[in-house]
Structure 1
Amino acid sequence: MNTIIAFILMFGLLVFVHEFGHFIVAKKTGMLVREFAIGFGPKIFSIKKNETLYTIRILPMGGYVRVAGEDPEIIELKAGQHIGLVLNEQEEVKDIIINQKDKYPLAEVIEVSEADLTHDLFIEGSLVGEDDMTRYPVSETANYVMDGTKTQIAPYNRQFASKSKSKRALQLFAGPFMNFVLTAVLFFLLAILQGIPVEEAQIGEVLPDTPASDAGLIEGDVITTIDGKEITTWFDFQTYVALRPNEVMSMTVERNDSVSEVMLTPEAYQVDEQTVGRIGVMRGVEKSWAKAIPYSLSETYYWSKMIITNVAMLISGQFTVDALSGPVGIYDFTDQVVQSGFYSFMTWTAALSVNLGIINLLPLPALDGGRLLFIGLEAVRGKPISQEKEGLVHFIGFALLMLLMIIVTWNDLQRLFF
């Protein structure tokens, strides 16, 4: 149960932060955000506030912010169509009743002759059974009403395509950027709560019933030499011990102002089919507000660099699809991390967040990077690619990504259960 709760919270946080980036920039640049969704598929929860529908959906495979103009508007008015109009106090159309007009006794039912709900915002028509034409101004916040459900119209100035290339690019980039911000924040909190790993070979926590505890090592001890070899960093210390399981070694230990010698023998452990030595100590840490921000930025950079390297290896064929993990594999590893403690869970969440940011910036259809690529092509060509062609490319890309997700999930299931 702890793993399920942790996974839901982690997934919800990663997706929420990513989509919030898209959402807040869309709002700030004047775009109409129709929906803010966590997950895909059927809705399990929804609430409408102002212009936006907020939903939680059943499939934990991502989320989306649906901005007006990214997809063709579903409803359009045609000449000869009978509709109902409800006016506001300024005599502007506030509701356009498409069907079930009998439920709206105050609506004026007209036969449409002409309408523009994108630029000039008007509906022209005559009352049913009469010849006199009337031109009705339409409010920018007017709603279509179909089967009792209201959908706000999207004047061109509220649509994604109406904004400058820089604003559209910023809206697309904001999602991945927020994942990098989340990663840095999580590492900052880790630095404050857990501490920042020190560079020197300083002992942190000493685990009970281990060679280190039996030899009398305590937290704060600094290892300066092993078997006469100078040790200056934690990496030197860790590497020397790992390569010498079951070998007796002599360590020079500094404790406060004194120096002593201790003898101990690393225990042998199997790690990825290799035998390594361990003495049962954790790395020393220090807590410093001044160093917390540089540490959080350096860790974000480190994980970003590592993930980019792995993506490059995947593209070059050094990794195969079998090496990838989907939701099932992530859940399984989350289970292991949760058992290791809260700080390990925070580190895992930070790593997944930066991974989500980088993957979304790849220039692939349906991803933020793919859509940024189309804006780049627009800048080069001097005109946008048609919405239909771009939509088709993203649809095919999304279908291929879903197919990849199915393959990866199947591989995860085979690894875990077969």
Structure 2
Amino acid sequence: MLYIILFILVLGIIILVHEFGHFLFAKRAGILCHEFAIGMGPILWKKRKGETLYTIRAIPLGGYVMMAGEEIDESRISEGQNVKLMIKNGMVEKIVLTDSSEYSAAIPATIAHFDLYGENGNPLYIEYTTPDHREQTKRVRVKRDAVYILGKDNEQLISPYERSFESKKWLDKFLTVVMGAGFNFIFAIILFFIIGLFNGVPTGENLVGDLNKSGLRPEISPAVDHFERGDRITELNDESVEDWSDISENMADFDGGTLNYTIKRDGKEITGQLTPLIYIATLGIYSDKDVNNDVIIGDIVPNAKADKEGFRIGDDITHINNVKVENWNEAKTQFEDYYNGEEITITVVRGNEKITKELILGKALAAENVAGYVIGINSYSERGLLPSIKYGFTGMINTIRFVILNLQMLFGHEDVGVGDLAGPLGIFDLTKSAAMSGNTAGQRIISVLSFMALISANIGFVNLLPIPALDGGRLIFLIIEGILRKRIPRKVENYIHMVGFILLMLLFVYVTGNDILRMIGLK
């Protein structure tokens, strides 16, 4: 239950930030905002303040700002409709659409013709007949701030032209559309800044950082016996090391066995050897320190595949798909044969019990991405205002690069497809993983904040893609309008957005279905 609440909070805050960006710039431009909604579906809470109804809805997926001028016809009345009119000083102040006795003094009327839009300053009016004089049509002016009465404590301002989205200057419309994503980017920058301030900013130097932040249990971390915070690594496996990227590249090229290293500590040069752990990414497990004898699980990534399937630290893996494995190098080779998310069986010995599990492994891009070698160190970090400010921007930019890389793989890699996308259940699972990551409460908070920054930047970028129904699709129409100096008919634009919305909903259903299959172990 705690993780569900956290998921709703994380997603709700990010959606709130996005919609607030739209809302703030719409209000700044003088656009009438009927509703500011967080979530979709039935209303759980509502409060009207000024001309806007603020709501929280039951389904915490999405949100919206209902702005005047977004629909083809926003009037809530039609010709031939029976309504009640509250008229004062010869002008309609309220159009009553409810049978409540509270408005018994209102004039019963049947709408004959009306204009509640008043483009170019034209007066608003309603032509109507009354039950007593059906042959006689009356015409009455309507105030530009008149309201619809929709029910008890439920009213909505009419939407005259000058308060609508389409009446505003091109730049105001552009900013109103783009600043939803803009606020997501700003929020990501703020989160990365906070992370840098409290957790430090990686310097990129060849210096060892805090060993307790590696994510490994200290009992199995090779680094604990060999390194200290501040050690400068100058060589790995006889290769010169200048910065942290050299360390990452060296470990990526490492093919097992013993790792030679040279460090500088307090002005002294120290050499040594260690044996890195083996990490199986498609299962989320680490070897223990002894990779050459038996296949003992030394650590398990919280909420990863192994954790969900019930594997435990200390389990001794004896067979993978009925093939006996006697050490971690043999196990690594076996796991690499099933990089594309295949179903396998794994047999372990736990105490005096032999357990065989059938499961579908996680998916890797290639066999070489299945496993890696880990020594349990992370980059040295510095704290400070200026490094944290810089980290806010670089963190957000690197996240967008990561999103672009994933999109390129989605459309350009034969083993990656739409079925690999994460839907709401997948995002819940990632939220849970973030909340479980780390050895201390502080590390878990930082992990959740990092995840929020990632999702916020992700949502901001994806919303700017030129897809109908998304902000990017609306921007395309605005750009065309700016070039042609002529607005595309709202009817045409709305139909295109409707088709885009339907396709997005079909994608949503498909992705959610895949999420469910993954959760129950069928994919």
Residue type of the partner of 2:86?
A: L
Counterpart CA distance in 1 for 2:14 and 2:8 is: 10
* 1:134-183 Cα deviation digits (max 9, x unpaired): 76443322111244442211111001111122221211101111111111
Q: Which moved more, 1:17-26 or 1:302-311?
A: 302-311
AA in 2 matched with 1:212: A
CA deviations 1:296-324 (Å, max 9, x no partner) are 11221111122123224434465311121
**2:479 matched to 1:376?**
yes
Task: Tell me by how many angstroms 1:276 deviates.
Answer: 2.7
CA distance in 1, matches of 2:433, 2:33: 38
1:243–1:277 CA contact under 8 A, matched in 2: no
Task: Report the Cα distance in structure 2 between the residues aligned to 1:4 and 1:24, rounded to whole angstroms.
Answer: 29
Question: Secondary structure of 2:504's match?
Answer: helix
Q: Is the 8 A contact 2:258 2:275 kept in 1?
A: yes
Decide which of 501, 512, 518 is 1:398's aligned counterpart: 501
Aligned residues of 1:245 and 1:266 also touching (Cα < 8 A): no
1:325, CA displacement in angstroms? 0.9
**How far apart in 1 are the matches of 2:98 and 2:519?**
52
- Give distance in 2, aligned partners of 1:201 and 1:112: 78
TM-score (norm. length: structure 2): 0.73
| Matched-pair contact (CA < 8 Å) for 1:82–1:109 | yes
Task: Give the match's secondary structure for 1:282.
Answer: coil
Which secondary structure state, in structure 2, belongs to the residue aligned with residue 224 of structure 1? strand
Q: How far, CA to CA, are the matches of 1:8 and 1:83 in structure 2? A: 42
Q: Secondary structure at the match of 1:69?
A: coil
The amino acid of 2:378's aligned partner reads M
The DSSP-based 3-state class of the residue aligned with 2:378 is strand
SS in 2 for 1:281: coil
Q: Which secondary structure state, in structure 1, belongs to the residue aligned with residue 179 of structure 2?
A: helix
- Partner AA of 2:116 in structure 1: L
Alpha-carbon contact 2:83-2:108 (below 8 Å) kept: yes
| CA offsets 1:360-379 (integer angstroms, 9 cap, x no match) | 11111111111111122223
Aligned counterparts of 1:271 and 1:143: Cα–Cα separation in 2: 59
CA distance in 1, matches of 2:514, 2:109: 59
The equivalent of 1:144 in structure 2 is 148
What is the aligned partner in structure 2 of residue 309 from structure 1? 405
Deviates more, 1:296-305 or 1:253-262: 253-262
Question: How far 1:326 moved relative to its partner?
Answer: 0.5
| Distance in 1, Cα, partners of 2:395 & 2:87 | 57
User: 487, 490, 496: which one pairs with 1:387?
Assistant: 490
Letter of the aligned partner of 1:183 in structure 2?
Answer: A
Higher alpha-carbon deviation: 381-390 or 392-401: 381-390
Name which of 224, 233, 246 aligns with 1:213: 224
**1:121 matches 2:218:** no
Q: Which residue of 1 aligns with 2:99?
A: 100
Measured in 2, the distance between the counterparts of 1:144 and 1:2 equals 42
Structure 2 residue aligned with 1:30: 30
What is the CA–CA distance in structure 1 between the aligned matches of 2:30 and 2:395, rounded to whole Å? 35
- In structure 2, the CA distance between the partners of 1:121 and 1:305, relative to structure 1 (3 Å rule), is same
- Is the CA contact (8 Å cut-off) linking 1:117 and 1:153 kept in structure 2? yes
In 1, Cα distance between equivalents of 2:112 and 2:62: 43
* TM-aligned CA distance change 1:2 to 1:238, over 3 Å: farther
Match of 1:335 among 432, 435, 450: 432
2:511 corresponds to: 408
Structure 1 residues 411 and 99, CA gap change in structure 2 (3 angstroms): closer
Q: Does residue 348 of structure 1 match 2:451?
A: yes
Residues 54-113 of structure 1: CA deviation (Å, up to 9, x unaligned) = 1122223211111011012142364796632143xx764321224527532443456666
Q: Residue 133 of structure 1: CA displacement? A: 8.5
**TM-score under structure 1 normalisation?**
0.90
Query: 2:12 & 2:84 partners in 1: Cα distance?
Result: 41
Of residues 232, 236, 239 in structure 2, which corresponds to 1:222? 232
8 Å CA contact 2:196–2:383 kept in 1: the answer is yes
What value does the CA root-mean-square deviation take over the aligned residues?
Answer: 2.6
Distance 2:248 2:100 in 1: 76
Are 2:166 and 1:69 equivalent residues in the alignment? no
Equivalent in 248, 253, 266 of residue 238 of structure 1? 248
Identity, in percent, stands at 35
Distance in 1, Cα, partners of 2:384 & 2:16 = 30
Asked if the contact 1:83–1:112 (Cα under 8 Å) also holds between the matched residues in 2, the reply is: no
The answer to whether the aligner puts 1:360 opposite 2:456 as a matched pair is: no
Does structure 1 conserve the Cα–Cα contact (< 8 Å) formed by 2:237 and 2:259? yes
Distance in structure 1 (CA, Å) of the matches to 2:508 and 2:157: 34
Aligned mates of 1:106, 1:235 — CA distance in 2? 78
Question: What pairs with 1:155-174 in structure 2 (closer than 5 Å)?
Answer: 155-174=160-179
Is contact 1:84-1:98 (8 Å) kept?
Answer: no
Change (3 A) 1:97 1:2: closer
Structure-2 change in CA distance of 1:101 and 1:264 (3 Å) = closer
Contact 2:205 2:379 in 1 (8 A): no
Match of 1:284 in 2: 380
Tell me, yes or no, if the aligned pair for 1:220 and 1:284 is still in contact at 8 Å: yes
Number of positions where the alignment pairs a residue of Structure 1 with one of Structure 2: 415
Match in the other structure for 2:4 = 4
Matches within 5 A, 1:43-58: 43-58=43-58
Structure 1: tracts of 5 or more residues without a match: none
Measured after TM superposition, the shift of residue 337 of structure 1 is: 1.4
Residue 262 of structure 1: how far off its partner (Å): 3.2
Moved more, 23-32 or 269-278: 269-278
Counterpart amino acid of residue 308 in structure 1: I
Q: Name the CA shift for 1:105/1:253 in 2 (closer, same or farther; >3 Å).
A: same
- Write out per-residue CA displacement over residues 103-126 of structure 1, whole angstroms, 9 at most, x where no aligned residue: 324434566665432221344668
